[in-house]
Structure 1
C-alpha cells in the first residue's frame, strides 16, 4: 500500500475509534475548545501526520524496519533538547538527572551517525533460500538508499519530537485526552487526505482488504491515543525514553518475520 494512503487510513481509524470513546467517557467534559487549542490541533495534525508519519514510512522504504527503529532512539534526545528550549525541562548540569540526559543525548547522536555511515558485517542472518529469492525481487530490497533514508527519517523524528512537545502543551490547555486525540486524528485525516489525493489519486491505491494492512490502520489509531494519555500523565521526555525498546523488538521481529539480517554497525 502507498505510504500516503496508509497514513490517511491510520488517522481515519483513529478518528472513528476515539469518537466512540470520547462520547462515552468525556461527554461530560466542560473544557472549552478555544482558538489556541484549534491552532495547536492543526499543527499536531501537520507534525504528526504529514511530516512525522508520512516521512517515517518513506524512510522505511529506503532502509528497513530494524534500522528505522534503531535510529528512532534520536527521538528522546531531540525531545529533551526541545523541552529544554521550551523550558519544560530544567537544565541544571550540576544535577545527576541532567548529566544523564545530556550524556544520553550525545550517545544517541553519535550512535545515529554511526548507523548511517557504517553498516558492518551481518552478525545474525536467517538463511532461508525461498524467502531470499522472493525478497530479492521486491522493490524495497533492490532500491534501498541508506543515506537518503536516514535523512528522511531524521526529519521525521524532529517532527515527531515537536509533536510530542506540542501535544503535552495542548493537553494542559485542554485536559481531555480522548477528545484531543479525536481532534488530532481528524486534523491529520484532513491534511494527509489532501496530500494523498494530490500524490496518489488512483482509486486502486485506496483499496482495503481483510489482511495485515487493516490491522496496521487500527493499531496506528490506537497508538495515537496511548501517546496522548502518557504525555498527559508523565510528560513527553518520559514517554520517549522507552523508544530504545523498539529497537530490540524490531530487530527480533525483522529477523524472524522479514528475514532481515542484524548488522554490526546497526546495533553495536
Structure 2
C-alpha cells in the first residue's frame, strides 16, 4: 500500500495515542480537585481558539453553504460531545479509574457499528466472512477490554514504588461498590453518546464538507452548552480558578489535542473511510493507557492486562481485515460492472 492507503491507519493510531494521554491528564486534574464541568468548558474554549486559528489559515476561502440543517447538526454535536459525552466520561472516570474508563470506551465501536447499521451506513450480510470478521472483532475487542478490567491475575511487572506494596482492592469488591457501578453506567452512556457523535459527524460532513470549520463550530457549540450546564450544576466561583499546574495543562491539552486536532483528524478519516473504521481503533487506547499507567503512575502490570491486550490487537486486525475485504469486493464489483458496460457498447 502507498502512503495514501496507509494515511487513515496512521491518523487513527495518532488519535488513540492522544486519547491515552487525555485519560491520564484528565484523571490527575480531577483528582487534584478540578470540577469536571469546568474542565469541559475550558477544554472546549481552548479547542475553539485553536481551531479558529486553523480555520483562518486553511479554510478561510471555504465556499460551502451553511444551512439551518448544518447549524442544527452542529448544536447536537456540541450536545453529544461536550454535555453528554465528555462530562459523563469525566464523572465516570472519577468514580472508577483511567484504565477502566478507557476499557469502557471500547463500547464505542460496538455502539457505532449498531447505529451505522440502523442508519444504513453499514451493511450486515451475516453469511459473508467479512461481516462475520467485523462482528467477531468487535465482540473480541470488548471481551479483551473487559478482561483487562475485571481480571488481574499474577503480577508480571511491578515497579518498586509506594503503590506497589499497598493492598489492592479485588475486582469483586470493586463491582459490589455502588459508586463503581454508578461510574460504569455513566461511562456506558458516554460511549453511546460518543458513538452517536461519530455518526452525526459523518452526515454533517456530507452536507458541509469543511472539517476544520465544523470542528471549530462544534467546539464553540460545546463551550456554550457546557458553560450553561456548569452554571446550573456548579455554583462555586472558585471552581473557575486556574493555577499554574495540572489544572491549566489539562484543559489546554484536552482542548487543543482532543477536541481540536484529534476531532479534525478523525473527520479526515471519516471522509476517506467511515465512522466504524475510525472507532475500530479505539481499543488501542486501552493498551496505551495501561502502559502509561505502568510508566507514569507506576501501576503494576498484571497477566490479565497482557492477555486482554493480545485479544484487542487480534480483534482490531480482524475488524480491519473484514473492512478491507468488503472494500476489495466493492471495487471488484464496480470494475466488473464497468467492463460489462464497455462490452455492451462494443457489441452495439
Shift of 1:155: 0.6
SS in 1 for 2:63: coil
Partners of 2:271 and 2:242 lie apart in 1 by: 33
1:183 matches 2:217: yes
SS in 2 for 1:258: coil
Shift of 1:80: 0.9
* TM-score normalised by L of structure 1: 0.87
Shift of 1:119: 4.2
Instruction: Summarize the Cα distance change of 1:25–1:132 in structure 2 as closer, same or farther, 3 Å threshold.
Output: farther
SS in 2 for 1:145: helix
Any idea what the Cα deviations from partners look like across 1:46-102, whole Å, max 9, x if unmatched? 100011011111111111111111221221111111111100111112332211111
Partners of 1:237 and 1:148 lie apart in 2 by: 28
Instruction: Summarize the Cα distance change of 1:220–1:230 in structure 2 as closer, same or farther, 3 Å threshold.
Output: farther
Specify the alignment match of 1:156 in structure 2.
190
Out of 119-128 and 17-26, give the one that drifted further: 119-128
1:204 matches 2:238: yes
Q: Describe how 1:101-112 pairs up with structure 2 within 5 A.
A: 101-111=134-144
Shift of 1:12: 0.3
C-alpha contact 1:15 1:182 (8 A) present in aligned 2: yes
Q: Describe how 1:1-268 pairs up with structure 2 within 5 A.
A: 1-111=34-144, 118-121=150-153, 123=155, 124-129=157-162, 145-221=179-255, 222-263=261-302, 268=308
The alignment yields a C-alpha RMSD, in angstroms, of 2.5
C-alpha contact 2:164 2:299 (8 A) present in aligned 1: no
Partners of 1:41 and 1:99 lie apart in 2 by: 34
- How many matched pairs? 260
* TM-score normalised by L of structure 2: 0.68
Shift of 1:229: 2.5
Shift of 1:32: 1.4
Shift of 1:16: 0.6
Shift of 1:42: 0.8
